[in-house]
Structure 1
Amino acid sequence: MLNVRPDSLSILLVDDNEADRMLAEEAFDLLPAKVWVNLCATGDQALAWLRDPGNPLPNVIVLDVNMPGMSGLDVLRAIREDPVLRPLPVVMLTTSDQPGDIQQAYELVVSSYWVKQADFAGFVRQIEDFVGFWQHARFHKGRP
């Protein structure tokens, strides 16, 4: 679904839970802002997509922490170890409010750590705040 345009915000959202991906997509669709979201269900799928030179790099990566196989923290580590991907902003958006997860994410240089709101209206407000912030950010130009 990603179709990056210069006047839009592009996001790669990685979450293993199909219902959460659908809720996030619905929340982004409610926004008047131009936001392009590509969805991945696994960390391996996300890294393959990011490393494919045919895909434009997103402005921001959004990761869930708790995923089977490769966790969001594992994906964050792989991104920070990759010289091409390292500059990309990564935001954790997760249900985990465990201090250990939060600490590890910041040790791996996450841009921010957000705990998902339990109700849809609260989640939509989070997405609005998220997009509002990142629309004003300046980004790395992409692949060298």
Structure 2
Amino acid sequence: MILRNKTVSQMEQNSTKEATFLLVDDDDISIMAMKRALKKLKIVNRVRVAKDGQDALEILNDAAEAAEGRLPPFIVTLDLNMPRMNGLEFLEAVRADPRLHRLVVFVFTTSDMPDDIQSAYSRNVAGYLVKDNPRETFARALDMLESYSRIVELPA
């Protein structure tokens, strides 16, 4: 569930159902554009940032451990081209981990190469969006994600 304009007490009461956004991207400009788009759309869900796939795995594993082995709802936006562990390597690790394999992942990347698109979808991504103009692309994508989150139940 994506939250718009809720009070802190309302957020705390429903904190087990609201999805946390995990932005996995090494580009600070893309991260800032995504955060601005969230603010502009008045989406107040918790946002976490990881600079590469390895950092993202650590965040997710910590969240699962804190919830006694059960991963709380996350919506991941994933860049493919990152150092240490790129997006496709991250997807491989996530899909191989029984605690993380149901994770909802949307790819946000500059790559429009057919091989990257095919590779991402073969790893069960929920969507693949190309960053043409990061600010505009993120705003449209977040609007879509807000609608998506209202009509689907995320795994808990």
What TM bracket, shorter-length normalisation?
A: 0.7 to 0.9
Q: TM-score, normalised by structure 1?
A: 0.85
- State the Cα distance separating 1:11 from its structure 2 match: 1.4
Query: Which moved further from structure 2: 24-33 or 48-57?
Result: 48-57
Task: Give the structure 1 partner of residue 78 of structure 2.
Answer: 63
Moved over 6 A (4+): none
Structure 2, gaps ≥5 residues long:
1-11
SS in 2 for 1:35: coil
TM-score calculated relative to the size of structure 2: 0.79
Aligned to 2:42: 32
Alpha-carbon distance in structure 1 between the residues aligned to 2:88 and 2:114? 13
Does 2:104 align with 1:94? no
Structure with a larger share of its residues in helix? 2
1: CA distance, partners of 2:21 / 2:116 = 22
Identity value in percent: 34
What do you get for the CA RMSD once the two structures are aligned? 2.0
> 1:121 & 1:103 partners in 2: Cα distance?
24
Q: Which has the larger radius of gyration?
A: 2
**Greater CA deviation, 24-33 or 76-85?**
24-33
Given residue 24 of structure 1, which amino acid in structure 2 is its aligned partner?
A: M
For residues 72-104 of structure 1, what are the alpha-carbon distances to aligned partners after superposition, in whole Å with 9 as ceiling and x for unaligned? 111011000000000111111111111000000
Counterpart position of 2:33: 23
Match for residue 135 of structure 1?
150
Letter in 1 for 2:26: D
| Secondary structure of the corresponding residue to residue 66 of structure 2 | coil
> CA, structure 1 residues 135+35, in 2 after alignment: closer, same or farther (shift >3 Å)?
farther
Pair 1:7–1:47, CA change in 2 (3 A): closer
Separation in structure 1 between the aligned mates of residue 110 and residue 42 of structure 2, nearest angstrom: 26
